[in-house]
Amino acid sequence: MSKRTLVNLFLVFAMLLTLGVGAASAAPPAQEEMTYTVKLGDNLWTLAEKYLGSGPAYRAIVGATNDRNATDSSFAKIDNPSLIHPGWKLLIPGPEEAAKYVTVPVVVEVTPVPEVVTYPRSETLYVSGAAWGPPSDWNPFITWSKANTTGTIGLVYETLFMYDPLTDKLIPWLAESGEWVDADTYELKLRKGITWSDGQPMTAADVVFTYELGQKYAAIWFSPEWAYLDSVTAVGDYAVRFEFTDPLYQQFENDLYNIAMVPKHLWEGKTEEEITSGANENPVGSGAYLYETHSEDRNVWVRNEDWWATKLLGLKPAPKRIVDIRFASNNVALGAVIKGEVDLSNNFLPGIATLSEKGYVKTYFAGAPYMLSANTAVLFLNTTKPPMDDPAFRRAVAFAINTGDIVNVAYANLVKAADPTGLLPSLAKYVDPAVVKELGFSYDPAKAKKILADAGYKDVNGDGFVEAPDGSKIELEVTCPFGWTDWMESIKVIANSAQAAGINIKDATPDYGAWNTALTTGTFDMTLNNWAMMSNTPWTLYNLLFRHPIIEVMGSGNFGRYDNQQMFDLVDQLAATPSDDVEGMKAVCSQIQELMLTEMPMIPLWYNGLWAQYSDAVWTNWPTEAANVPSRLPCTWSGYWQMGGLLTLTELKLAE
């Protein structure tokens, strides 16, 4: 698996999971204070473990950095410790300074199981492809580590709703129903008869408690919701009222299937540190599975035989146990799938097309692209640098790129070309076909050359490449990090096809640190990014592409620093559009797409796949495109259990 693929898998959920490590670590040697530039994959917990000797000591980094920001704006201002962005400058304090911000840190000892236990094969589902490292915590509020304990949210802790991207519908789950009773009030009814795994009933008080944690602690990832959420109130035991001022409907409803509920009776006695950064060993949730054990390379979940949904909804997951394995290499993972030792792999496995066609593995689609689409790969152009500040030049680049070669050669048909609007197929209803027909793009080098000529770009010196209208030479780079092999092949295609159209673009592969610094500080020419993830709303894509305001370090999107207030106003208008006003959403999206395709500040190129390959040696009835089998997302990535992964388990059958 390439480095880039690993990063992709993590960004899939969700807009911000990062690498987790063991919760216990030895204190490092004493050191003086130092500055640190955040890289993709970093989080405060692991930085504190590395430099201060304990994850909970991350508060010292927050305090020291924020204090330094007051006198030196080049340092980050950390409002939410769960969200740090690549390129941010942090201050790691020395031991004496750190002591001013935190008490003696509590180090949680996590003892892995020393040996691998064999479970009855006919009762056990073996999966892989989510975890990056050993398990470190089972805390549903520490989002960055959930890849390593995927299932914490979805199998153990559950959300009020689920979301089905294939039908674009929110599915009532812990909530029986929910509706906006007026523009500023949302009322939710909780199902009666839900119990936590310790036997205690779930009530509206648990929902209120969970949401109010976001108001109480800035480190909780959904705390920004309280900028427009005024109150959450229990109305009896099974109803909850949310009251807002100028609600952002799109964000709130996205959170409905992402915020995991926790039991008040067990969490109200926890400290802030335990809630925001504790390991939460032996988690008690409401879900279909219980934590059973773990080791360095695996997590084991065992079925909750008293799961509320069996009685209330008639659902029961088929496997008694789920063993989630982290493999050391692609070859080992691939071999395990082929031999039937792993039932479902969500790893990127090159060559899977041939294996699927020969029947060694199953995939969602029988033919190309074999996988569902998970996120959009976008080429960002730095609009602050000429000639990328010229919309005509940017449109010429769009027509010059041979996306077909990226799909067919670089990815061997495991991906498909993106819609010019960037929206995934699951959100296709928000694409305005009239706008795409008029302003969309496809590979057409002749048209690229005409656009350039009409805009005054000419080959003055006869070297085969155009110069700018003022006669200046054009020499540009398109980049991705070295080692991200599929992207390296893709940028070669971009460069070669652009050169064929007379645009002097060369591919370059700096090391990750240099590439990431250029991405977030705006010093690149052109570069790839694929943070446009699967979602229930087009707002999440356009909020990323047109992130605003423009600041010194753009760590969360709009990397090309496209500065257009009209576009920013449209994205904000979309955020505040009620989600049941589909026509209103379409109208705003149409305006966004018209401006986007006219100005072309970035170029959507292809959809990365929801990597999933499975064996039917032990378990069958996997989701596929066929009409007579379930149609779900066959995925174990964190954030995907509530988007079809859990329901897949309830529909599996033992092979005969």
| pLDDT, tens only, 120-163 | 999 999 999 888 778 889 999 988 778 788 999 999 999 999 99
Over range 418-443, report the average pLDDT: 97
Is the per-residue pLDDT at 109 higher than 80? Answer: no
Q: Residue 229 belongs to a domain with what CATH number?
A: 3.90.76.10
Say whether both 251 and 293 belong to one domain.
no
Please, what is the Cα angle at 459 between 455 and 461, to 5 degrees?
A: 145
Distances (CA, A) of 183 to 242, 381, 575, 578: 11, 39, 14, 8
Taking residue 25's Cβ as centre, other Cβ atoms within 10 Å add up to 17
Say whether both 366 and 378 belong to one domain.
no
3-state secondary structure string across 289-313: EEEEEEECCEEEEEECCCCHHHHHH
Evaluate whether residue 115 is within a structural domain: no
Condensed to tens digits (0 to 9), the pLDDT of residues 84-99 reads: 766 788 999 988 888 8
Continuous H helices in 27-125: 44-52, 58-69, 95-98
Over range 8-25, report the average pLDDT: 30
Say whether both 553 and 438 belong to one domain.
yes
Say whether both 442 and 541 belong to one domain.
yes
Evaluate whether residue 162 is within a structural domain: no
Q: State pTM to two decimals.
A: 0.77
Q: What distance in Å separates the CA atoms of residue 241 and residue 123, rounded to the nearest whole number?
A: 42
Q: What distance in Å separates the CA atoms of residue 580 and residue 458, rounded to the nearest whole number?
A: 50
Evaluate whether residue 181 is within a structural domain: yes
Which of 609, 626, 642 terminates a domain? The answer is 609
Please name the residue that has the structure tokens 């041979």. 402
Both tokens assigned to 236 = 């009896």
Q: Residue 616 belongs to a domain with what CATH number?
A: 3.40.190.10
Q: Residue 509 belongs to a domain with what CATH number?
A: 3.10.105.10
Say whether both 363 and 466 belong to one domain.
no
Say whether both 180 and 307 belong to one domain.
no
Nearest CA to 31 out of 85, 81, 96 is that of: 96
Q: What distance in Å separates the CA atoms of residue 9 and residue 609, rounded to the nearest whole number?
A: 10
pLDDT of amino acid 76: 85
pLDDT of amino acid 53: 78
Evaluate whether residue 305 is within a structural domain: yes
Say whether both 257 and 293 belong to one domain.
no
CA torsion through residues 622, 298, 54, 4, sign? negative
Is the per-residue pLDDT at 2 higher than 60? Answer: no
E-strand ranges in 173-313 read 175-182, 185-190, 229-234, 239-244, 289-295, 298-303
Condensed to tens digits (0 to 9), the pLDDT of residues 32-53 reads: 889 998 865 566 766 876 788 7
Of 103-117, 275-289, 293-307, where does mean pLDDT reach its minimum?
103-117
Say whether both 397 and 523 belong to one domain.
yes
Over range 512-523, report the average pLDDT: 90
pLDDT of amino acid 8: 36
Is the per-residue pLDDT at 13 higher than 80? Answer: no
Say whether both 515 and 643 belong to one domain.
no
Strands 89-92, 34-37: parallel, antiparallel or unpaired by DSSP? antiparallel
Over range 111-125, report the average pLDDT: 76
Decide: residue 324, CB within 10 A, 0-12 exposed, 13-18 middle, 19+ buried. Answer: buried
Decide: residue 3, CB within 10 A, 0-12 exposed, 13-18 middle, 19+ buried. Answer: middle
Taking residue 80's Cβ as centre, other Cβ atoms within 10 Å add up to 15
Please name the residue that has the structure tokens 């966004």. 592
Q: What distance in Å separates the CA atoms of residue 478 and residue 494, rounded to the nearest whole number?
A: 8
Nearest CA to 327 out of 340, 353, 345 is that of: 345
Say whether both 365 and 502 belong to one domain.
no
Nearest CA to 344 out of 319, 361, 329 is that of: 361
Is residue 48 within 8 A of residue 134, CB to CB? The reply is: no
Hey, is 234 helix, strand or coil?
Answer: strand
Continuous H helices in 53-112: 58-69, 95-98
Taking residue 116's Cβ as centre, other Cβ atoms within 10 Å add up to 11
Range of the domain at 73: 25-98
DSSP state of 322: E
Is residue 652 within 8 A of residue 161, CB to CB? The reply is: no
3-state secondary structure string across 513-537: HHHHHHHHHCCCCEEEEEEEECCCC
Taking residue 115's Cβ as centre, other Cβ atoms within 10 Å add up to 6
Is residue 276 within 8 A of residue 220, CB to CB? The reply is: yes
Condensed to tens digits (0 to 9), the pLDDT of residues 196-252 reads: 999 999 999 999 999 999 999 998 999 989 999 999 999 999 999 999 999 999 999
Evaluate whether residue 89 is within a structural domain: yes
pLDDT of amino acid 24: 30
Q: What distance in Å separates the CA atoms of residue 523 and residue 318, rounded to the nearest whole number?
A: 52
Ordered strands of the 229-234 beta sheet: 175-182, 185-190, 239-244, 229-234
Condensed to tens digits (0 to 9), the pLDDT of residues 566-579 reads: 999 999 999 999 99
Is the per-residue pLDDT at 421 higher than 90? Answer: yes
Decide: residue 436, CB within 10 A, 0-12 exposed, 13-18 middle, 19+ buried. Answer: middle
Distances (CA, A) of 48 to 60, 415, 468: 8, 38, 49
Per DSSP, what are the bridge partners of residue 187? 179, 241
Strands 602-609, 373-381: parallel, antiparallel or unpaired by DSSP? antiparallel
Q: Residue 42 belongs to a domain with what CATH number?
A: 3.10.350.10
Phi, psi of 208 (to 5 degrees): -60, -45
Is the per-residue pLDDT at 461 higher than 90? Answer: yes
Count of domains forming the chain: 4
Q: How confident is the model at residue 15 (pLDDT cuts 50, 70, 90)?
A: very low
Q: What distance in Å separates the CA atoms of residue 7 and residue 112, rounded to the nearest whole number?
A: 26
Percent of the chain with pLDDT over 70: 90
Q: How confident is the model at residue 643 (pLDDT cuts 50, 70, 90)?
A: very high
Evaluate whether residue 113 is within a structural domain: no
The one-letter code for the residue type at 605 is L
pLDDT of amino acid 343: 96
Is the per-residue pLDDT at 12 higher than 50? Answer: no
Say whether both 384 and 345 belong to one domain.
no
pLDDT of amino acid 501: 97
Say whether both 419 and 450 belong to one domain.
yes
Averaged pLDDT of the chain:
88
Instruction: Determine the distance from the C-alpha atom of residue 197 to the mean position of all C-alpha atoms in its chain, rounded to a whole number.
Output: 29
Over range 516-542, report the average pLDDT: 92
Condensed to tens digits (0 to 9), the pLDDT of residues 322-372 reads: 999 988 776 788 888 888 899 999 987 877 888 888 888 999 999 999 999
Nearest CA to 507 out of 522, 519, 517, 494 is that of: 494
Condensed to tens digits (0 to 9), the pLDDT of residues 471-493 reads: 999 999 999 988 777 899 999 99
Evaluate whether residue 292 is within a structural domain: yes
Hey, is 90 helix, strand or coil?
Answer: strand
Hey, is 281 helix, strand or coil?
Answer: coil
Distances (CA, A) of 213 to 21, 67, 143, 187: 25, 25, 15, 19
Per DSSP, what are the bridge partners of residue 126? 323
Is the per-residue pLDDT at 29 higher than 70? Answer: no
Nearest CA to 520 out of 7, 512, 79, 223 is that of: 512
Evaluate whether residue 564 is within a structural domain: yes
Q: What distance in Å separates the CA atoms of residue 653 and residue 443, rounded to the nearest whole number?
A: 45
pLDDT higher at 533 or 546: 546
Is residue 79 within 8 A of residue 223, CB to CB? The reply is: no
Over range 519-544, report the average pLDDT: 92
